[in-house]
Amino acid sequence: MAHNVQAELDALREGIYGGRGPGIDGEELERRTTLRPCVGNRPTAATREELRLRTMRARGEAEAAALEEVWAAQQRLGGGTG
């Protein structure tokens, strides 16, 4: 039991930054955080709006689809989506 618990916690600790923890610091972090938005450790152009949509998908595809329609309608009418 003790061994399993510690192995699980080791994995969580080491997985925070994908196994690259205390080594990534200072200039390396500053270089990374000035990059475009990331998803996980993969650079991407994901915007906050896209992340919101992704979150909604996680909560329910049907609800997200309905909201996409609402947002699309808002954009057609010239309204913002936040």
Residue numbers at the binding site for other proteins (CB under 8 A): 1-2, 4-6, 8-9, 12-13, 15-18, 21-22, 24-27, 29-30, 32-42, 46-48, 51-52, 54-56, 58-59, 67, 70-71, 81-82
Rounded distance between C-alpha atoms, residue 36 and residue 45, angstroms:
6
Q: HSE (CB half, 13 Å, CA atoms) of 1? A: 0
- 56: helix, strand or coil: helix
Least distance (Å) from other proteins to the CB of residue 48?
6
- Lookup result for tokens 């936040």: 82
Least distance (Å) from other proteins to the CB of residue 12?
4
Least distance (Å) from other proteins to the CB of residue 37?
4
